[in-house]
Amino acid sequence: MLKQLTAWLLIFSVLTVNYSRLFVYVGFKMNQSYIAAKLCENRDKPFLHCNGKCYLMKKIKQAEDKQNNAESQAQKNLFQDVYFVNNLFHNSTLWSTGIENPFPSVGNYGKQAGTFLSIFRPPQLS
């Protein structure tokens, strides 16, 4: 039961991420009379027949900006992850210029540590 609920919740969240404009529009249509009467910038000018469309355009713009910011943040996080994964293959120096690694591994204490790709040779039994 809990697994099914979690699965449906994840499916719903994945499908609704890109439909923020749809939710803004549906919310506008449901509350259009209130928005036109209280929140519209042109409520004092009824001859413009705005009926809250200015408010709708502002909310759609905010939703698009929020989505673009989330996408750019996700791209930044992806770049950072790739950098750190790529950094695992280096020793305690960056490239071969002799510059010390600004992110030394924990427990290294200034000793040159081998890479994790080096071969472990157990002691021989006599």
What token pair was written down for 84?
């750190």
What token pair was written down for 41?
């910038």
Residue 13 lies in a domain: no
Residue 48 lies in a domain: yes
Residue 68 lies in a domain: yes
Domain that holds residue 53: 20-90
Residue 125 lies in a domain: no
User: How far apart, in whole angstroms, are the C-alpha atoms of residue 105 and residue 111?
Assistant: 10
In a structure prediction context, what are the per-residue pLDDT tens digits for the chain, which is 126 residues long? Answer: 889 999 998 888 877 767 778 888 889 999 998 998 888 888 888 888 888 899 999 999 998 888 888 888 877 766 655 544 444 555 544 445 555 555 555 555 555 555 655 677 778 887
Residue 1 lies in a domain: no
Residue of 49, 19, 10, 18 whose CA lies nearest to 32: 49
Residue 104 lies in a domain: no
Whether the Cβ atoms of residue 36 and residue 5 lie closer than 8 Å to each other: no
